[in-house]
Structure 1
Amino acid sequence: MKKEQKLSNRKILALLLALALMLTFAAACGNSMDDTPGTVSAPVNIAALNGPTGMGMVKLMDMADKYNITTYQAPTDIAPKLISGEVDVAALPSNMAAVLYNKTQGQIVAISPVVLGVLYVLGNDVELQDVKELKGKTIYASGQGGTPEYVLQKVLETAGLDPQKDVTIKWLANHADVNQKLLSEKGAIAMLPEPFVSTALAAGGDSVKQLFDLNELWNEATGQELPMGVLVARRGFVSDRPADLEVLLKDYAESVDFVNSNDGAGALIVEKGFIGKEAIAKSAISRCKMVLFTGTNAGEGADILRTFNQTLYDMEPASVGGVLPDEELYYTGAE
């Protein structure tokens, strides 16, 4: 009887040891998983513009198990898909966050700026040191009615110039036309975004030079960086899938870091169809100022967007959808 009891006790002890080992193994696995990129409950549908606004997510394009990413040529191609729910997250021009927020009665959330700057003034055989020297000049540009127009207006007004009287702005159909004008006319001055800036500098040789960085001038005028691209999401996605959003932001931040610091980023940008030539892509990266504000920095990103929306609203309310968005537009991190 005592022998049977001893055997039983040994069996119980063996079971307890096995259970302890299983719990230890499970905890170790759990800790290991915390150090690797997480999974999502279902693939996230993402839309991005085919330019600097979308370039920061190139590494995400190789994560097909997590993200379905489609690039588009115009924000008007993306907006209906975001509103309908076909798309969960999108990278768009910054003012579109406010426009869509107003259009959907608050069903869009601005997650973070993803591109700062990208707008520059270039000259072909032109030497200017101060924005005031643009008085009496002609500026070729594209993007009338959009962010480029309001940025140029703010910069000129801050320099004491009246955009309607002191300069002549010739609005062309697209950036390629502006680039052609700049390269073909000695004395031409043009406002261009990346990657057209790098293309013009490469093609123009010593004649074409960067005159002004509009991000720096916007910062001087407003006290904040110039957000040219923003990551937005449907409010339903943010509220229903907060864990998936955090996984996305972690992966996105790593992708942005890769693009900004890795020599192989230019080749990947070309491979994904954002820019045609690797040399141009490498040149454009530093001037594209790709970013992502997450975690404790989320509030900083919200401040940049808040100042941007207020500035545009003061110039033209229609530029942000007619009404200045309230605080519900801005994502300041996971609850």
Structure 2
Amino acid sequence: MITRRSLLGYTSSIIGSSLLLGAGSSIATAANAASALTLYGPPVGPSVTLAYMAKQGLLSKAAGGTVDFEIYKSPDVLRANFVSGDWKLAVTPSYVAANLANKGLPVKMLNIMTWGMLYVLSFDEAIKKPEDLVGETVGMFFRNDMPDLVFGRVMEEKGLKVGTDYKLHYVGTPFEALQLLLSGRIKHCVLPEPAATAGMVKGKKLGKKLYRSLDLAKEWASVTGGEGRFPMAGAMVHQDLLDKNPALIEEFQKQAMEGTKWVQGNPMEAAKVAAETMPLPAPVIAKSIPHTHLTMERASDIRNELETFYGLLAEKNPAIIGGKLPDASFYL
């Protein structure tokens, strides 16, 4: 049973961490030294697929032994372990991979596993489109980082200027934004998945009705003129693993594609597997899966979309991708 106390605890743990969106200081659990390979991911939707793949042993033959899955809670931990060479394959925000590559780390972007999972939550049922936020204050975390840049760009494309047409209330973490929302100090805030789902569950437990008002992935169409999606996160591979076992990388891509389809078709069963490693109750994980926009696209096949995304982020914050677009070899 999900109690108010346990709900507060897991919401604080997940939302209070950086998820896959910004800086943080939490330490991932140690990898099993006896395993042939360990996959790493933050506590978000694409990691459900990795957990399933590890549980089913789908990569054991290609890896030549046991393949484990571990959760990490901070891009700082991700960076440190890829720099040291201890980690070889992990789900990461796509812009973090570009940043590391531009700083000289031998990493490649293998695929994209989610087409965006950022939402505006609101107490106001009437909020249906960006223009409905005129005159309102919206909670935002990680100033000048990816969520802030994505939301701001969407609003700009709708002709809305921050400080004039709407205001942003900046806080340090998604958890702080949600706390402000649930306390009634703000009526709307931007949250990622699974934080958005966890927040809605928490709100219901507290007797407060929250609405998933805007899907920023769908709103992204107004920015690019293309499809309502953006390449938010996917698998990053260290060159050492690519050189040592290229067949394993191809097998990972194949099994991840099949695994993603299975997760989408069996959310509760997938959530039960993921709950063994992710610090969220299975019901919350299951509810979040349809809103995570899971996909499995080869990076080289969508290079243009990745470069468009990187370019738009860099217009306001060039340092977010390391000052330039990655070389062509970055896209596997």
Q: TM-score, normalised by structure 2?
A: 0.79
Query: Are the equivalent residues in 2 in contact too, given 1:115–1:227 (CA < 8 A)?
Result: yes
Within 1, Cα distance between the matches of 2:117 and 2:108?
Answer: 23
Shift of 1:164: 4.2
Shift of 1:289: 1.4
Letter paired with 2:252: L
Alignment of 1:119 with 2:124, yes or no, is no
Deviations along 1:63-102, whole A, 9 cap, x unmatched?
A: 3734243211111111121122111111111210110011
- Corresponding residue for residue 259 of structure 1: 263
| SS of residue paired to 1:293 | strand
Shift of 1:154: 0.8
Q: Which runs of 4+ in 1 moved over 4 A?
A: none
Shift in alpha-carbon separation, 1:321–1:253, aligned structure 2, 3 A: same
* 1:241-252 matches, cutoff 5 A: 241-252=245-256
Shift of 1:126: 4.7
What RMSD over aligned residues (CA atoms) do the two structures have, in Å? 2.1
Letter paired with 2:143: Q
Single out whichever of 223-232 and 62-71 deviates more from structure 2.
62-71
Within 1, Cα distance between the matches of 2:145 and 2:47?
Answer: 18
Shift of 1:172: 1.6
Deviations along 1:279-316, whole A, 9 cap, x unmatched?
A: 2111100001122224xxx5443333222112212232
Within 2, Cα distance between the matches of 1:176 and 1:228?
Answer: 20
- Corresponding residue for residue 239 of structure 2: 235
Within 2, Cα distance between the matches of 1:173 and 1:317?
Answer: 21
| SS of residue paired to 1:271 | coil
| SS of residue paired to 2:294 | coil
Within 2, Cα distance between the matches of 1:171 and 1:110?
Answer: 31
| SS of residue paired to 2:275 | helix
- Corresponding residue for residue 102 of structure 2: 102
Say which of 192, 206, 209 aligns to 1:207. Answer: 209
* 1:279-294 matches, cutoff 5 A: 279-294=283-298
Determine which structure has more spread, i.e. the larger CA radius of gyration.
Answer: 1
- Corresponding residue for residue 77 of structure 1: 77
- Corresponding residue for residue 270 of structure 1: 275
Alignment of 1:174 with 2:178, yes or no, is no
Letter paired with 2:289: I
Letter paired with 2:111: S
Q: TM-score, normalised by structure 1?
A: 0.78
Single out whichever of 197-206 and 319-328 deviates more from structure 2.
197-206
- Corresponding residue for residue 54 of structure 2: 61
| SS of residue paired to 1:56 | helix
Query: Are the equivalent residues in 1 in contact too, given 2:91–2:236 (CA < 8 A)?
Result: yes
- Unmatched tracts of structure 2, length 5 or more: 1-34
Within 2, Cα distance between the matches of 1:291 and 1:227?
Answer: 10
Shift in alpha-carbon separation, 1:269–1:47, aligned structure 2, 3 A: closer
Alignment of 1:146 with 2:145, yes or no, is yes
Query: Are the equivalent residues in 2 in contact too, given 1:126–1:189 (CA < 8 A)?
Result: no
Within 1, Cα distance between the matches of 2:186 and 2:246?
Answer: 53
Within 2, Cα distance between the matches of 1:187 and 1:116?
Answer: 28
Within 2, Cα distance between the matches of 1:174 and 1:67?
Answer: 32
Within 2, Cα distance between the matches of 1:164 and 1:75?
Answer: 30
Within 2, Cα distance between the matches of 1:66 and 1:153?
Answer: 44
Alignment of 1:324 with 2:317, yes or no, is no
How many residue pairs align between the two structures? 285
Within 2, Cα distance between the matches of 1:249 and 1:46?
Answer: 13
- Corresponding residue for residue 183 of structure 1: 182
Single out whichever of 123-132 and 321-330 deviates more from structure 2.
123-132
- Corresponding residue for residue 30 of structure 2: none
- Corresponding residue for residue 230 of structure 2: 226
- Unmatched tracts of structure 1, length 5 or more: 1-41
Within 2, Cα distance between the matches of 1:303 and 1:242?
Answer: 24
